[in-house]
Amino acid sequence: MSHSAEPLPMTARRSGPLTGTAKVPGDKSISHRALILGALSVGETHITGLLEGQDVLDTAKAMQAFGAQVQRLDEGEWRVNGVGIGGFAEPEGVIDCGNSGTGVRLIMGAMATTPITATFTGDASLSHRPMGRITDPLELFGCEVTAREGKRLPVTIRGASEPVPVRYKTPVASAQIKSAILLAGLNAPGETVVIETEPTRDHTERMLAGFGASIRTEITDEGRVITLKGRPELNPQPVAVPCDPSSAAFPVAAALIVPGSEIRVPGVSRNPTRDGLFVTLIEMGADIRFENNREEGGEPVADLVVRHGPLKGVTVPPERAVSMIDEFPILSVIACFAQGTTVMQGVHELRVKESDRIDAMAVGLRANGAEVEDTADTMTVHGKGVLGGGATCASHLDHRIAMSFLVAGLASERPISVDDGGPIATSFPDFLPLMRGLGAQID
């Protein structure tokens, strides 16, 4: 569903110490994949901890449109009765993926090797994002693609009736590209191979293996070579979705910058392909403890204990960008409250996310008194330990931009507002009550 409601302005004010437990929602990446793999299995997949954000709800609706039975049993508890690989039915209507790049790209992959036709659309943000990075490799399987100028949505795909397996080296480090190809490869005979030069998040590989597909990853001179045997029988598995480290980043950041804070964030995924923000924060001197390290649902998780304390600027090397790609907006806020310069390198992909995140953060932080420089591929923040605040920032239909500025306002001298907090519901529907429960002043 596209975010078309009236704008929802929000303001965050300097708050007293944040304390308590922040139970953040289920991982967005894993939630999309659980629904899609459930729909591609024969039989019943039981999911707990599913993120009930709009992005994931749109994927659930899409899976129903392709013929799967998807049912909500309780909060975060869902049941999917799948149709099997190659079993997708042709949807009656257009598939509206709302704001979700992950949703639309993974679903395009999942249907591209089944001989049905589907048209995909999304909101104003998604309609500006590049789809050629997905449709180009999908065409190699034999599907036909029609898209708007610049390979943007709406896109219509006529799935391949005689798909062939593909060997593809991803030109940009993107888990969405990798995952779309692997999902398409499920219904191609023989072996589909994806080669990536940087290790992007590996939830698709982990979950496919868990559902019984034959998939292996080898590290070679070419990069990470992932090989999937086509036409497996996927066996439904219970999926326990861990808490989303990308959502945990917001209360964690708030606790780090609001003096006197100490919070606990239980059950957060510590998948090494998603861990870059925590690595960086530790380098900045952040007081974060990881307790009860354990495995849940095939993913490493831990309980986080986070305390306010002094932070220093650091340089984030380009090879780390992919493991924290969604966390740079909030890191740029934390960097304002550190002493010294933080340089974020290799971040060009931020320019094609839900918004141009480098521009959105640079413009908004400058308006609030920060010293920020940006180039095509870098963002630099000269941290002074404080932020003036006082400005209203544009969220550009981007949940992470809205949440980042609201967290900044909890520690800035004057309040910080966002023009529209509505998009927060795409990934973190309980952001406001959760933050208020810790003592944050946001209205």
Contacting range for ligand S3P; rule: CB under 6 A; set: 41-49, 123-131, 169-177, 285-293: 169-177
Instruction: Please tell me whether residue 100 binds ligand S3P under the rule CB under 6 A.
Output: no
Instruction: Please tell me whether residue 299 binds ligand S3P under the rule CB under 6 A.
Output: no
Among 41, 99, 200, 355, binds ligand S3P (CB under 6 A): 200
Among 29, 41, 323, 368, binds ligand S3P (CB under 6 A): 29
How many CA atoms within 13 Å lie on the side-chain side of 169?
A: 7
Please name the residue that has the structure tokens 């550190």. Answer: 338
Distances (CA, A) of 161 to 139, 143, 263: 12, 8, 53
**Does the annotation list 174 as a binding residue?**
yes
**Does the annotation list 357 as a binding residue?**
yes
Three-state DSSP at 154 gives: strand
Minimum gap (Å) between residue 54 Cβ and ligand S3P: 14
Contacting range for ligand S3P; rule: CB under 6 A; set: 173-181, 249-257, 292-300, 413-421: 173-181
Instruction: Please tell me whether residue 201 binds ligand S3P under the rule CB under 6 A.
Output: yes
Instruction: Please tell me whether residue 99 binds ligand S3P under the rule CB under 6 A.
Output: no
Instruction: Please tell me whether residue 176 binds ligand S3P under the rule CB under 6 A.
Output: yes
Distances (CA, A) of 133 to 30, 228, 290: 21, 20, 37
Distance CA 300, CA 32 (A): 19
Rg over CA atoms, the chain: 21
**Does the annotation list 129 as a binding residue?**
yes
**Does the annotation list 289 as a binding residue?**
no
**Does the annotation list 169 as a binding residue?**
no
Residue 326 known to be catalytic: yes
Three-state DSSP at 382 gives: strand
Instruction: Please tell me whether residue 174 binds ligand S3P under the rule CB under 6 A.
Output: yes
Minimum gap (Å) between residue 203 Cβ and ligand S3P: 7
Closer to ligand S3P by Cβ: residue 138 or 258: 138
Instruction: Please tell me whether residue 280 binds ligand S3P under the rule CB under 6 A.
Output: no
**Does the annotation list 176 as a binding residue?**
yes
Instruction: Please tell me whether residue 326 binds ligand S3P under the rule CB under 6 A.
Output: yes
| Catalytic site residue from 55, 58, 123, 326 | 326
Distance CA 353, CA 202 (A): 19
| Strand ordering across the sheet containing 77-83 | 69-74, 77-83, 42-48, 239-240
Instruction: Please tell me whether residue 325 binds ligand S3P under the rule CB under 6 A.
Output: yes
Among 15, 102, 273, 404, binds ligand S3P (CB under 6 A): 102
Q: Would you tell me how many other CB atoms lie within 10 Å of the CB of residue 413?
A: 13
Among 41, 135, 179, 380, binds ligand S3P (CB under 6 A): 179
Please give, one letter per residue, the 3-state secondary structure of 310-342. CCECCEECHHHHHHHCCCHHHHHHHHHCCEEEE
Three-state DSSP at 111 gives: helix
Minimum gap (Å) between residue 172 Cβ and ligand S3P: 8
Minimum gap (Å) between residue 7 Cβ and ligand S3P: 23
Closest CA to 372 of 406, 408, 417: 408
**Does the annotation list 101 as a binding residue?**
yes
**Does the annotation list 400 as a binding residue?**
yes
CB 414 within 8 A of CB 441: no
Distance CA 26, CA 266 (A): 12
**Does the annotation list 224 as a binding residue?**
no
Minimum gap (Å) between residue 166 Cβ and ligand S3P: 18
Instruction: Please tell me whether residue 273 binds ligand S3P under the rule CB under 6 A.
Output: no
CB 267 within 8 A of CB 233: no
Distance CA 411, CA 395 (A): 19
Minimum gap (Å) between residue 97 Cβ and ligand S3P: 13
Distance CA 180, CA 200 (A): 13
CB 379 within 8 A of CB 403: no
DSSP state of 408: H
- How many chain residues interact with ligand S3P (CB under 6 A)? 11
The β-bridge relationship of strands 42-48 and 223-229 is: unpaired
Instruction: Please tell me whether residue 361 binds ligand S3P under the rule CB under 6 A.
Output: no
Residues in touch with ligand S3P (CB under 6 A): 29, 102, 174-176, 179, 200-201, 325-326, 349
Point out the residues that are catalytic: 326
**Known binding residues:** 28-29, 33, 101, 129, 174, 176, 326, 353, 357, 400
**Known binding residues for phosphoenolpyruvate:** 28, 101, 129, 176, 357, 400
